[in-house]
Structure 1
């Protein structure tokens, strides 16, 4: 803010897109809640330039900022300024694009992209005021009316693609479950060399048998761990031991590793080559480890008695399959886990029994 108090002043870089000027500026986080406004939710959609605020997302983002004050990363906000701005270049000859951006204090600055980050910043500052001293980059455009603002929102989100769950797992070093999945993919003989690290689905021609995200879901279920719970070294080693023991009794997994059979053939012919079964084996394993902490390894021999063939419609239809297609639904996972539990001699819980009653109805 300048000495006269009429402007908000930001260090900025000036650029041009599609013949229109824009500015990239650094804004202190503590000013974000006061400077940037958001379309009120009560306004009809056709009169807004944004989606409505999903308040369920705000605590998670705010917690991320508060919990990781020394390592968080916050992407730029995009805003439109409804008012005349002034850009003062530092050096008109040598650095004409570097300077100070002055925005009138009575101008409206409307968020085009980043409304949840803006709300989360406000909440994070309430919990941890020192966060307000940090900065966030802001991309400023000139407001050209509702039509242009709506088109900006559509264009900014049209090509946005979320990374696959496997890739997020591979790159997430804050999450204990992701760390467990990476550990198993590299160190567990069952998964080593057979894990798709980037995609959460496996193509027909892929030589991989498991996805990193599938390993994460199944192993967290095995250890009965929720998303934010820590996982000890001993638990990691137990998961490794369990999955290697399981593979001893599913010979097709070993054949896939030794290239005696193609993974494409296994996916086509057997339910054990799909994530629903891996997850189910994790759930069944958790029950087995609880009820048979000493004898669980020998109990796994019963896996050899299960007919994993997709052609066994009587066994798998309504469980791992629906109308002949593999199902990833939670109900399919649970019902498949029930079948495996029964094969292993594990008594079904009341919740399990309720699922079975619905399946038999």
Structure 2
């Protein structure tokens, strides 16, 4: 080969076929790896159409963490001549991989990473000298490439959002949430740090993502946004008072009732309640910064029982009795709680209430 790429490489064997792992400079990634054209029908492509909405998030991850980002390997097929030159007789699987420049490269796994690297290099060209590991296979045609994509993704299991929060040591919302759980005895004892949905027999009251989502609403923040010291202090004080105010939570803490029984009989052991309280806390922070505590204390006098259908059916749970958490039901639950503790509805909240009344058979 007169014109070629040459990489230090390791040789391995899978399913009787050779493959090679190389360290590829980031600057080469956009130049040598191509995608299938998106207008080609799915059955004639070897990969899915790229979801371009994912690229900015991955790009920002690189740019915001230039000293601390990490990427897993790309996996690619090479349609062209590849020659592996062994380092020595003793080190037969270590050497150099030479690939003809006119070869065609196809990413089987990692196309979004590839696109994000290209965008990051436009902003921060110095990244081009850093490397990413690439696993090369011989291209054995479309059918084999499609099968590789299927096999690589077949057993992939996304982590739960709770695990993502637990292991995130950069995001301020994640850090605040974990600190609250560690510092407040009720949350520390009764928060499941891995699951996102609790079984009916779970010994826990909350999932970590429930607390995180509530903090998002409480502070009006999204993942990655900056949180002031004042906001952090408010969140801590709010949760401490909330945990001391909800009588049913205290009964669990004092072993007078079980998480299972509370989940069955009350709405306060469900995410729809927590996020509704987050909405109310956000309102109090802005409109009652000096007297928000007195409104939170009024929560003690509300009937949270699930058999209180007049209040919670059609809001926290459906007419079948199933707890139903989405943006609308969270807001409807928050609306009623606001009324009960003497807070007015915003124009947006009143529109949601009017919509509920119109949908009601009795118009009430």
Identify whether the pair has TM-score above 0.5, normalized to the shorter chain: yes
Question: Which is further off, 272-281 or 249-258?
Answer: 249-258
Q: Aligned partners of 1:114, 1:185: CA distance in 2, in Å?
A: 35
Q: Aligned partners of 1:183, 1:236: CA distance in 2, in Å?
A: 10
Q: TM-score by structure 2 length?
A: 0.95
1:141: how far off? 0.7
**Aligned with 1:83 (options 63, 66, 80):** 80
Residue by residue over 1:46-84, the C-alpha shift from the partner in whole angstroms, topping out at 9 and shown as x without a partner, is 000000011111111111111111100011101001122
Paired position in structure 2 for 1:294: 290
**Aligned with 1:136 (options 132, 137, 161):** 132
- The CA RMSD over aligned residues, in Å, is 1.3
Map residues 28-67 of structure 1 onto 2, 5 A cutoff: 28-67=25-64
Paired position in structure 1 for 2:23: 26
1:303: how far off? 1.1
Partner secondary structure for residue 100 of structure 1: strand
Q: Aligned partners of 2:74, 2:228: CA distance in 1, in Å?
A: 38
**Aligned with 1:7 (options 4, 7, 16):** 4
Paired position in structure 2 for 1:198: 194
Q: Aligned partners of 2:2, 2:301: CA distance in 1, in Å?
A: 80
**Mapped pair 1:16 → 2:13:** yes
Q: Which runs of 5+ in 1 are unaligned?
A: none
Q: Aligned partners of 1:258, 1:104: CA distance in 2, in Å?
A: 71
1:104–1:272 Cα change, 3 Å: same
Q: TM-score by structure 1 length?
A: 0.96
Does structure 2 retain, via aligned residues, the 8 Å contact 1:75–1:137? Answer: yes
Paired position in structure 2 for 1:188: 184
1:5: how far off? 5.1
Does structure 2 retain, via aligned residues, the 8 Å contact 1:246–1:300? Answer: yes
**Mapped pair 1:120 → 2:120:** no
Question: Which is further off, 196-205 or 350-359?
Answer: 196-205
Q: Which runs of 5+ in 2 are unaligned?
A: 359-364
Paired positions, count: 357
**Mapped pair 1:150 → 2:142:** no
1:236: how far off? 2.2
**Mapped pair 1:175 → 2:171:** yes
Q: Aligned partners of 1:235, 1:189: CA distance in 2, in Å?
A: 21
Question: Which is further off, 60-69 or 284-293?
Answer: 284-293
Paired position in structure 2 for 1:164: 160
